[in-house]
């Protein structure tokens, strides 16, 4: 059953996660499965704890209102999300490698 507190942007599941998992699986398929499971568990944690992530205060306004939280046990992967009204849950907008310039990526891949 789907958790109503958790909304996931379609591109997270069609682009972000497949790109990350394909890259990892090229060297270690088991690790890719573990990262996927940890990412899903972190989504669920964020849905129940909407304010735990770091609020983004970039020079560029593209990340205004977005929070960031690392994937549990895999801090090289960051989840960018927006709390739902009245902190009733979260909308997952991006899952990116920590080495990426998030502000530039968000400018190029606008998601709501």
Q: Exposure string (b/e) for 6-39, b if CB count within 10 Å is 16 or more?
A: bbbbeebeeebbeebbeebbeeeeeebeebbebb
Query: For 104-111, what is the mean pLDDT?
Result: 81
Total Cβ atoms within 10 A of residue 63: 22
Task: Identify any residues that bridge with 11 across adjacent strands, giving them in sequence order.
Answer: none
Q: What average pLDDT does the segment 92-107 reach?
A: 89
For 23-69, how does the pLDDT look when each residue is reduced to its tens digit (9 = 90+)?
999 999 999 999 999 999 999 999 999 999 998 766 656 667 889 99
Is the confidence at residue 1, as pLDDT, over 60?
Answer: no
Per domain, the residue ranges of the chain are: 6-108
Is 107 a residue whose pLDDT tops 60?
Answer: yes
Q: What pLDDT is stored for residue 87 in this prediction?
A: 87
Write down the CATH number for the domain with range 6-108: 3.30.2310.20
């Amino acid at each position: 059953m789907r958790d109503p507190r958790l909304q996931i942007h379609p591109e997270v599941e069609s682009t972000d996660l497949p790109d990350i998992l394909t890259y990892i699986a090229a060297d270690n398929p088991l690790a890719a499965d573990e990262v996927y499971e940890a990412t899903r568990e972190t989504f669920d944690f964020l849905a129940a704890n909407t304010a735990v992530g770091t609020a983004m205060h970039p020079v560029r306004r593209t990340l205004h209102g977005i929070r960031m939280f690392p994937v549990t046990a895999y801090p090289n992967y960051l989840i960018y999300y927006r709390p739902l009204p009245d902190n009733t849950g979260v909308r997952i907008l991006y899952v990116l490698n920590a080495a990426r310039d998030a502000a530039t990526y968000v400018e190029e891949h606008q998601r709501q």
